[in-house]
């Protein structure tokens, strides 16, 4: 007797995760996101987060931090500034409007990642956290205004922006459409991984101490805003000390990857070059009275340094340990593969 077998029906992926169906099918690119499409949205998220750091710095450096004296409205009566607030009101309100641009980019990136068929749970959660970080940052910005630019809250506001930049860098790394297969760790790579993590942590220390220097200096965001009470020269020296440690670590990594002939050379050299540029900007701005353009450039390069050191950690972390074959037991004798 012949029994016909009907092949089982294919199991469909969850709606929205297989790149088909759903309300986004008519939106160009989002109906069935490609790897390159998702990758470019991840880059857009990273660029937008770096850009908001620069524009936020412009608000503080022009003394426009209280250009809109309250939050979430610009004034007690209106969400938009009026003529009496002048240029400072326009600058602060413009920066608030740019936050909506960042919000749109974050939402678009989140949708692209969630609808990308090859995205894994970690990618989707990362995109979700990055998207939620934008309104959270908006609330911290509002607290900054309501506390009349408390320097410690301003510092937290900047540090959280840098957290989003580091996270966006991770998303770009994971969404690369032409990512090479995992490479073996090889001899000595464990040392490189540890050095990369030390560089990453030292970069964070330098960034935070840079905010402490800012809180003690003249650019507090408003002429009436209080400072943190620390001596500017002492805070600057402490910041410089950690930068010297960072220079030593970056040189050590550059030498290590060169001697070991590792593919991480390009990232290590990029970090070292940016660090040199950052040092020049730091010295020049310190001895020229902190001109606005140089301070904004200094903040932007800080963000780029964080991107580089995050990328280097990810590169070393993506390496896999070489698998040593287990001995093969045959009878009473143990034979090892050739």
Among the ranges given (70-84, 149-163, 251-265), the one the predictor scored with the smallest mean pLDDT: 70-84
Name the pLDDT band for 95 (thresholds 50, 70, 90).
confident
Collapsed DSSP state (helix, strand, coil) of residue 300: helix
Beta bridge partners of 184: 320
Distance between CA atoms of residues 37 and 110, nearest Å: 12
User: In terms of Cα–Cα distance, which of 263, 252, 249 is closest to 186?
Assistant: 263
Most confident of 73-82, 172-181, 194-203: 194-203
Residue 276: other Cβ atoms inside 10 A? 12
| Higher-confidence position of 210 and 4 | 210
Among the ranges given (133-137, 288-292, 300-304), the one the predictor scored with the smallest mean pLDDT: 288-292
Backbone angles phi, psi at 43, to 5 degrees: -65, -40
Does the pLDDT at position 145 exceed 60? yes
Q: What count of residues does the chain have? A: 338
Rounded alpha-carbon distances, angstroms, from residue 124 to 64, 112, 127, 140, 172: 37, 10, 5, 24, 13
Among the ranges given (19-23, 95-99, 183-187), the one the predictor scored with the smallest mean pLDDT: 19-23
Q: What is the dihedral of CA 78, 82, 86, 89, to 10 degrees?
A: 20
Name the pLDDT band for 144 (thresholds 50, 70, 90).
confident
Q: What pLDDT was estimated at residue 70?
A: 79
Does the pLDDT at position 303 exceed 50? yes
Does the pLDDT at position 325 exceed 50? no
Q: What pLDDT was estimated at residue 321?
A: 52
How many helices (H) and strands (E) the chain has is answered by 8, 2
Mean pLDDT of 222-236: 76
Q: What pLDDT was estimated at residue 257?
A: 92
Q: What pLDDT was estimated at residue 285?
A: 86
Residue-wise pLDDT tens digits, 82-93: 666 777 778 888
Does the pLDDT at position 333 exceed 70? no
Residue-wise pLDDT tens digits, 174-198: 999 987 777 766 667 888 899 999 9
Distance between CA atoms of residues 298 and 101, nearest Å: 24
Q: What pLDDT was estimated at residue 220?
A: 63
DSSP letter string, 116-132: -TT--HHHHHHHHHHHH
Q: Supply 234's token pair.
A: 């002492």
Backbone angles phi, psi at 335, to 5 degrees: -110, 135
Task: Report the predicted TM-score, pTM, of the whole model to 2 decimal places.
Answer: 0.84
Average pLDDT, the chain: 83
Query: Using omega within 30 degrees of 0 as the cis cutoff, is the peptide bond preceding 72 cis?
Result: yes
Q: Supply 57's token pair.
A: 């710095």
Q: What pLDDT was estimated at residue 322?
A: 46
Asked if 19 and 102 touch (Cβ cutoff 8 Å), the reply is no
Q: What pLDDT was estimated at residue 124?
A: 95
Asked if 285 and 298 touch (Cβ cutoff 8 Å), the reply is yes
Asked if 64 and 88 touch (Cβ cutoff 8 Å), the reply is yes
Distance between CA atoms of residues 41 and 255, nearest Å: 34
Mean pLDDT of 257-273: 93
Does the pLDDT at position 334 exceed 70? no
Distance between CA atoms of residues 307 and 46, nearest Å: 9
Mean pLDDT of 162-172: 97
């Amino acid at each position: 007797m012949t029994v016909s077998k009907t092949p089982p029906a294919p199991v469909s992926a969850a709606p929205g995760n297989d790149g088909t169906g759903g309300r986004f099918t008519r939106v160009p690119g989002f109906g069935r996101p490609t790897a390159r499409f998702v990758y470019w949205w991840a880059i857009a998220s990273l660029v937008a987060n770096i850009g908001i750091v620069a524009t936020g710095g412009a608000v503080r450096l022009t003394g426009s931090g209280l250009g809109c004296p309250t939050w979430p409205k610009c004034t007690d009566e209106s969400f938009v500034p009026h003529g009496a607030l002048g240029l400072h009101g326009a600058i602060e309100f413009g920066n608030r409007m740019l936050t909506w641009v960042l919000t749109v980019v974050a939402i678009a990136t989140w949708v692209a990642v969630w609808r990308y068929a090859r995205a894994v749970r970690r990618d989707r959660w990362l995109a979700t956290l990055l998207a939620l970080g934008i309104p959270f940052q908006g609330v911290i910005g509002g607290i900054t205004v309501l506390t009349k630019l408390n320097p410690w809250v301003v510092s937290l506001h900047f540090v959280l922006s840098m957290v989003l930049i580091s996270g966006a860098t991770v998303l770009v790394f994971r969404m690369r459409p032409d990512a090479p297969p995992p490479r073996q760790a090889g001899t000595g790579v464990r040392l490189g991984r540890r050095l990369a993590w030390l560089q990453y942590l030292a970069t964070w220390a330098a960034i935070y101490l840079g905010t402490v220097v800012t809180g003690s200096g003249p650019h507090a965001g408003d002429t009436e805003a209080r400072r943190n009470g620390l001596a500017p020269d002492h805070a600057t020296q402490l910041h410089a000390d950690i930068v010297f440690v960072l220079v030593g670590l970056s040189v050590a990594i550059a030498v290590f990857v060169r001697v070991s002939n590792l593919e991480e050379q390009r990232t290590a050299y990029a970090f070292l070059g940016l660090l040199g540029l950052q040092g020049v900007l730091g010295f020049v701005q310190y001895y020229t009275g902190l001109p606005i353009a140089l301070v904004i450039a200094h903040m932007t390069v800080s963000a780029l340094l964080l991107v580089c050191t995050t990328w280097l950690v990810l590169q070393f972390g993506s390496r896999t340990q070489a698998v040593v074959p287990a001995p093969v037991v045959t009878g009473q004798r143990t034979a090892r593969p050739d």
